[in-house]
Amino acid sequence: MPGSRSRLSHYRIPLFAVAVVALVGVGVASVLGVAGLRKSNAWTEHTYQVIHAIEVTDRAVRATEANARAYRLTGHPEFRSQFLAALPGVDAAAARLVALVEDDPAQAAPAHALRDAANAHAADLRRLYDLQEVEGAEAARQATDAAATLRQWRAIETAATQLRRGETRMLQDRKAHAQRQGLRLTAIVVSGTVLSALLMGLLMWNVVRENSRVRALERKTRQASQEMANTMRRIDRLSRQRHALSRYSGMLQSCETRDEILRLTGETIHALVPGVGGECYLFRASQDFYEIAATFGDAPAASADSVLPNQCWALRRGQPHLVPGGQGPRCDHLDVASARGDMDSLCMPLAAQGTALGLLHVALPADGDHEIEIELLGQVAEQLGLAVANLQLRETLRTQSLRDPLTGLFNRRYLEVSLSRELHRCERRQLPLSVLMLDVDHFKRFNDTHGHAAGDALLAQVGRLIQSTVRAEDFACRYGGEEFTVVMPELDAAGACTRAEQIRRAIGMATVQHAGQTLGPVTVSIGIATFPGDGTTPELLMQVADTMLYRAKAAGRDRVLHASHQG
């Protein structure tokens, strides 16, 4: 009855469009706001770099003067060496400061003034040093111009103070701008979200109201007893199906393996749609095709054992594809020769969050309309896709919980569990087991020289080299920091030493590419302990191997030491 519809029904599409526009506006504002905040953070970081450069320049000048003055007073060669080493750092530090503020005329002037004053002071110190070298310390002390030195220091401090004030002022301005931008972004997001929620709520209320009116009208039309009986039978059937689907959904959450999920799916399909058969395909990402993971029903459909993504219309279109009685566009994976004319073919894609996971292929009796079966199987396919995705996610998270993200090796937690297990197995079979403790030599110096990012790249390279050198049955772990552990089941002391030497040589010949530079090579020290001669517990083996590692370091590093080879 058109006259009974509410006025709001005519405005559903405009209201929905307004809500969508509001949400899009919130998203755009969020993206722009985040971009602005990132830019502000970058300028803030630049300000701290400038302030740091000022402090570095000041320290360089003071260190140079202190060493020069100490050398004039004592004549000690150590102060002479320190003065000559510190002198070039004055211009280098001042030059970096000038480079940082070159794009800001207001800051460039005091930066150049600071550099000129610092270089002038360094030149005077060099002149006095040269005079001392030729005529002696007394001549250098008499040639010292205290007034000129004071003027130079005042010029340095004045320029540094002006630079600091300028950077502090800009930092305050940027912080204030970031706060204003954050407030604007918050206001836009809140207002857009509230507006969208109100509009969506209004639309939902209208839809619910319309649905209630439609259901009321439908109830009034059910007057004939036969229609009522048919309706009751349908309701009863739907109730059983919903119960089966609800039970299926609940049990899926408790399934631990893929086989459990597929077995439960086959039982549920048989309960929902008796007399059907088919196959369930799952995607094999490593080979880019779908393979049969399970079959179900009394008469499985005639389909290939593996399916390429372009061989199925359902996979291409992302929606169910029904072929009634062999008539219509057929999927390439169907076996035409063995296809039956009294069976309809239904393909349903399995997906979760837009990712294709598999395919459900079902052969249905050709008895007319399959709307209910398609709806039920669609719900099964939806639940199955989510269950497979959740299982894959759990497996991925489990793997991540046992792996070190930087090196890809197992982590310390996996080492503690697996070493005990392997040791018990070797003990029962009376087989040896060796433990290697590795440490990258001078890693702290490498970090201090090249930076932490280069250190991370080095550790990742070491992890790859260890993994490629050990045997398939060995497991390599990152013990912590620059220390690594390799457990070698069924390998005696001689074999462990040979394998450790291979690891040491491989790492010693490798280099690391980082930031356009070739770094390394580095060396490693390795300590080895072997069960049962060096210990019978995981703790003792690790302790002995660690002791051998530190003896190797004490003996000069870049070597392998085994506990049984020590006196």
Exposure b/e, 159-169, CB count within 10 A at least 16 = b: bbebbeebbee
Per-residue pLDDT of the chain (567 residues; tens, 9 = 90+): 444 456 666 776 777 777 777 777 777 767 776 776 677 677 777 777 878 878 888 787 788 778 877 777 787 888 778 878 777 877 887 788 788 888 778 777 887 877 887 777 778 778 777 777 778 777 777 777 767 777 878 878 887 888 788 777 877 877 777 778 778 778 887 887 887 788 778 777 777 777 777 778 777 766 666 776 766 677 777 777 777 778 888 887 778 788 888 888 888 887 888 878 888 888 876 657 888 888 887 655 668 878 888 888 888 888 888 887 667 788 888 876 555 566 788 888 988 877 888 888 888 877 666 778 788 888 888 888 888 878 777 777 676 678 899 999 999 999 998 999 999 999 999 999 999 999 999 999 999 999 999 999 999 999 999 999 999 999 999 999 999 999 999 999 999 999 999 999 999 999 999 988 999 899 999 999 999 999 999 999 999 999 999 999 999 999 999 987 664
pLDDT of residue 3: 46
Is the C-alpha dihedral spanning 119, 124, 127, 132 positive or negative? negative
pLDDT of residue 446: 95
Give the number of other Cβ atoms within 10 Å of residue 352's Cβ: 17
Q: Are strands 306-307 and 289-297 parallel, antiparallel or unpaired?
A: antiparallel
Q: For 257-306, what is the HEC assignment? A: CHHHHHHHHHHHHHHHCCCCEEEEEEEECCCCEEEEEEEEECCCCCECCE
How far is the C-alpha of 360 from the C-alpha of 296, rounded, in Å? 11
Exposure b/e, 128-152, CB count within 10 A at least 16 = b: bbebbeeeebeebeeeeeeeeeeeb
Residues 521 and 464 sit within 8 Å (Cβ to Cβ): no
Helix (H) or strand (E) holding 528: strand 524-531
Is the C-alpha dihedral spanning 449, 451, 454, 458 positive or negative? positive
Q: Are strands 433-440 and 483-489 parallel, antiparallel or unpaired?
A: antiparallel
Q: How many Cα neighbours within 13 Å face the side chain of 48?
A: 5
Domains present along the chain, CATH in parentheses: 12-192 (1.20.120.1730), 237-399 (3.30.450.40), 412-565 (3.30.70.270)
Q: Which position has the token pair 């008539």?
A: 327
Which residues are CB-contacts of 321 (< 8 A; sequence separation ≥ 6)?
312, 313, 314, 329, 331, 346, 347
pLDDT of residue 342: 67
Q: Are strands 343-352 and 512-514 parallel, antiparallel or unpaired?
A: unpaired
pLDDT of residue 1: 45
pLDDT of residue 289: 85
How far is the C-alpha of 532 from the C-alpha of 430, rounded, in Å? 9
Q: Which position has the token pair 């069960």?
A: 531
**Phi then psi for 451, rounded to 5 degrees?**
100, 160
Q: Are strands 306-307 and 355-365 parallel, antiparallel or unpaired?
A: unpaired
Q: How far is CA 247 from CA 253, 392, 442, in A?
A: 10, 22, 61
Structure tokens at 485: 């552990």
Residues 458 and 406 sit within 8 Å (Cβ to Cβ): no
How far is the C-alpha of 110 from the C-alpha of 118, rounded, in Å? 12
Q: Roughly what angle, to the nearest 10 degrees, separates helices 493-509 and 452-469? A: 140
**Phi then psi for 144, rounded to 5 degrees?**
-70, 130
Is the pTM value of this prediction over 0.75? no
